[in-house]
Amino acid sequence: MTYDHEVAVEEASAAELCGDWSTAFERHRSVPMFVESHHGSMLSVLAGLGEAAPRWLVTRFLTAMAHRHELYGQPRRSGRVLERVVPVLYPHGIPIEALGCTWLEQVGPFIFSCDWVVRQADVYDLGGLADLVAMPEAAGALALGEHVDEWVQAPMGGYRVVGADGEVLTIADAVDGEERELLDLGVTCLHPPGTHLLGRVVPTDTGPGHLFDSQPLAVDARIAREVAARPEQWLDVLAARTRSRGLAPAFSHLPDRSLTADLPQHAWAALLGHPIGELLPRPPSTMVAEALKTALTLPSDEVSAKRHLVSELLLDELVSARLLARFALPAHAAAWRGLAQTLPDPARRRCDEALWLIDAVTDTDTLAG
């Protein structure tokens, strides 16, 4: 990192605190080591949507900011978090190979950035999001979110997936069976009905009024019931199971998550037959055009079931304006209209962009004729 790169990192962090996503994205991506970063991918979504970004989406990003707290001039947190949580997760030693680490030096950063339990404990139980809320410098970003104080207090829960219909995901409390309706962000693409999950249900002004704060964690029914019964002791529940070797090594080490769905990043590769969450066989940049072609040729009876995958594809920064224009052809107009009617917000905006380009081409051809 050169001095200019260090300055760019500081400028990006300052822009994030102000809620200036476009500047934050530009400065972040100007640093060579961040050209493909996961954080940059999340910023690209917010920068691309601008004022059209749903407020729940911004609040999700605030939790990502809270987990990167020390980059905003705050005291170091990662050491304290790892010291408190790692013994809970790995009482018998850290499974370096299971984490996907090549060198020992990677272990700490990998766990801090990719472990679901570490992130949840840091952002909520250890006060990361509350600390961000208390920062005067973050007032601009906080103003763009919603119900942030309620997210800070959201408890962990244990649930069973009931099913999804339209834009509504139905889950049931793992103990009393009480059902709740959440905004459907693709959970059932990865976790079919009957799967048990851990997650925090948080409020939103978008119907039906609640959603998961981020991608939930799949667990067995026993863990879900114990956490549902004792939500404030969820870490103790997991600690007891890890001590008894009742959980697989690195059970909570997940791929980079999507900001816009309850799925891993690049889940759209499933349109090409790649299992969601598994390591891709080649860089996603070499797959995106094929995936877009596949999305536009889906049979009409498959579009609804795969709408979250297509939505994730269209919101990926790899689908550039140039690539979108390649597929904005009159021959695909019906497909784009069908997607615009089916996809969840905010992916419909990309469909409208493609249809506008198609109309422009058609008008030009008419004038030329």
For the cut 90, the answer to whether the pLDDT of residue 43 exceeds it is yes
Find the mean pLDDT for residues 229-243: 97
Query: What is the C-alpha to C-alpha distance for residues 81 and 89, in angstroms, rounded to an integer?
Result: 12
Q: Could you give the residue ranges of the DSSP H alpha helices within 193-345? A: 221-229, 234-243, 288-296, 300-303, 307-315, 321-326, 333-342
For the chain, what is the mean pLDDT? Answer: 92
Are both 11 and 55 inside the same structural domain? yes
Are both 144 and 12 inside the same structural domain? yes
Are both 171 and 287 inside the same structural domain? no
pLDDT score at 367: 44
Q: Which of 99, 129, 149 is the last residue of a domain?
A: 149
The CATH number covering residue 201 comes to 2.40.50
Are both 40 and 71 inside the same structural domain? yes
- Residue 170: beta bridge partners? 163, 181
For the cut 80, the answer to whether the pLDDT of residue 363 exceeds it is no
> Sorting pLDDT into bands at 50, 70 and 90, what band is 361?
confident
The answer to whether residues 130 and 62 touch, using CB atoms and an 8 Å cutoff, is no
Torsion angle of C-alpha atoms 273, 275, 277, 283, degrees rounded to 10? -40
Mention every residue, 6+ apart, whose C-beta is less than 8 A from residue 120.
156, 200
Query: What are the distances in angstroms from CA 190 to CA 27, 49, 82?
Result: 34, 26, 28
Q: Which of 109, 131, 149 is the last residue of a domain?
A: 149
Query: Three-class SS of residue 183?
Result: strand
- Looking at this protein, which amino acid is placed at residue 87? P
For the cut 70, the answer to whether the pLDDT of residue 9 exceeds it is yes
pLDDT score at 117: 95
> To 5 degrees, how large is the angle CA 279–CA 284–CA 288?
135
For the cut 80, the answer to whether the pLDDT of residue 254 exceeds it is yes
Full domain range(s) for residue 339: 267-368
Summarize pLDDT for 270-321 with one digit per residue, the tens. 999 999 999 999 999 999 999 999 999 999 889 999 999 999 999 999 999 9
Are both 326 and 356 inside the same structural domain? yes
Least confident of 6-20, 75-89, 202-216, 350-364: 75-89
The residue ranking higher by pLDDT, 339 or 95, is 339
For the cut 50, the answer to whether the pLDDT of residue 34 exceeds it is yes
- Looking at this protein, which amino acid is placed at residue 187? V
Are both 200 and 91 inside the same structural domain? no
Beta-strand relationship, 168-173 and 157-165: antiparallel
For the cut 80, the answer to whether the pLDDT of residue 247 exceeds it is yes
Summarize pLDDT for 159-207 with one digit per residue, the tens. 999 999 989 999 999 999 999 999 999 999 999 999 999 999 999 999 9
The answer to whether residues 165 and 252 touch, using CB atoms and an 8 Å cutoff, is no
The answer to whether residues 350 and 319 touch, using CB atoms and an 8 Å cutoff, is yes
Summarize pLDDT for 314-341 with one digit per residue, the tens. 999 999 999 999 999 999 999 999 999 9
For the cut 60, the answer to whether the pLDDT of residue 85 exceeds it is yes
User: Which structure tokens are listed for 55?
Assistant: 């407020």
Summarize pLDDT for 99-130 with one digit per residue, the tens. 777 777 778 778 888 899 999 999 999 999 99
Are both 144 and 170 inside the same structural domain? no
Q: Which of 92, 115, 149 is the last residue of a domain?
A: 149
Q: Is 313 a member of any domain?
A: yes
The answer to whether residues 147 and 202 touch, using CB atoms and an 8 Å cutoff, is yes
Find the mean pLDDT for residues 45-68: 95
The residue ranking higher by pLDDT, 219 or 87, is 219
